[in-house]
Amino acid sequence: MTHHVSRRSFLSTTLLVGAAGALPGEAASDRDEAKPFKPGIITTWEHGRPATETAARHLKNGVCALDVVEKGVNVCEDDPSVTSVGLGGLPDENGVVTLDACIMDGRRHRAGAVAGLQNIRNPVSVARQVMELTRHVLLVGDGALDFARKAGFQEQNLLTEHARQRWLEWRQNLNPDDNWIDRTHDTVTMLCLDGRGDLAGACSTSGLAWKIHGRVGDSPIIGAGLYVDNEVGAAGATGVGELVLQTLTSFTIVELMRHGRAPHEACREAFERMCAKIPEARTTQEAFIAIDKQGRVGCATNSETFVFYYSDGGPPERNKPIPIS
Ligand code: ASP
């Protein structure tokens, strides 16, 4: 059976987050018994700060985790000064901005994703509509754009003058030893445990700058760049996506939490596994974040520059993890 839009009208750090407590009279929607938990949001990178601010406001107002992560990530996508996400993202080798994004709803264990999407500044919202309006999970390239148009998204040029200048500079300095992965890249990934105890996650990226046209990273691949299990926790990645794809890092982290690891332990173990299989991971930039069902968050990274933001509904707290060497 096919589904057409038109047929429907459409290092390692731990942050042990305080004393946990369920909201009075509320039970986690997928559990028989209410266990103590603390709602929270964790977001990658410095540009995750305004995204977390917006997300925190929604969390505080009782918005569900799925809407929190979508609205939060939209903030980053809309900001033309962020060169790794949405409008203003750095283009591929042909000078074309192509975006990858996904979203996952723990309550229904459903997901939506788009890859290689052009001309739409909010790919995470297109991913949300893939999840809501179809029974598919991933749409790519022209098909994703066609779907977005039918779903009512407006097209625009996403290549800012700043990004175009950087692309021109890169072309002028083309290096014969180019390895295709030593590129600037910083995906925004956000995970949320809401006041009902439900989990969701989202990520959005323009991927590696100057990538080969058609290259897709980990960010829109469920289990690689993002994974959510409402009974266990959620995890997300930012870094060189090829390595994350080869080791399905986010799925691995959630499975490790299922087997009792705290979020920071799960992230760390997933990183060590990645390095054992792919020694190159010690030198590429990788960072993983996680939140569990109690609202504890954790992170592991080998990056000197990686930061993440945390909020329990209040002002975002900046965290600078100690890189794993
Ligand atoms: N993971 C992204 C990609 O490979 C890039 C990043 O997170 O920095 O496309």
Q: Give the start-to-end residue ranges of the domains of the chain.
A: 37-314
Placement of tokens 């058609």 in the chain: 214
Structure tokens at 284: 């590429």
Banded model confidence at residue 4, pLDDT cuts 50, 70, 90:
very low
Instruction: Determine the atom of ligand 1 nearest the C-alpha atom of 211.
Output: 9
What mean pLDDT is predicted for residues 48-55?
A: 98
Instruction: Determine the atom of ligand 1 nearest the C-alpha atom of 285.
Output: 8
Query: What pTM does this model have?
Result: 0.90
Q: How far apart are CA 186 and CA 97, in angstroms?
A: 15
- Per-range mean pLDDT, top range of 2-6, 71-75, 178-182: 71-75
Q: How far apart are CA 43 and CA 236, in angstroms?
A: 9
Q: Check if 187 is active-site.
A: yes
Contact 48, 188 (CB under 8 A): yes
* Spacing, Cα 98 to ligand 1 middle (Å): 12
What is the average pLDDT score of the chain? 90
Banded model confidence at residue 175, pLDDT cuts 50, 70, 90:
confident
pLDDT at residue 19 above 70? Answer: no
Instruction: Return the residue whose CA atom lies nearest to atom 1 of ligand 1.
Output: 241
Q: Identify the residues whose C-beta falls under 6 Å from ligand 1.
A: 185-187, 205, 207-208, 217-219, 238-241
Instruction: Return the residue whose CA atom lies nearest to atom 4 of ligand 1.
Output: 241
Structure tokens at 43: 């977001």
Instruction: Determine the atom of ligand 1 nearest the C-alpha atom of 225.
Output: 1
Q: How far apart are CA 313 and CA 300, in angstroms?
A: 23
Alpha helices by DSSP H, listed for 161-294, are 161-172, 241-247, 249-258, 263-277
pLDDT of residue 13: 42
Banded model confidence at residue 33, pLDDT cuts 50, 70, 90:
low
* Spacing, Cα 33 to ligand 1 middle (Å): 38
Fold of 37-314: Glutamine Phosphoribosylpyrophosphate, subunit 1, domain 1 (3.60.20)
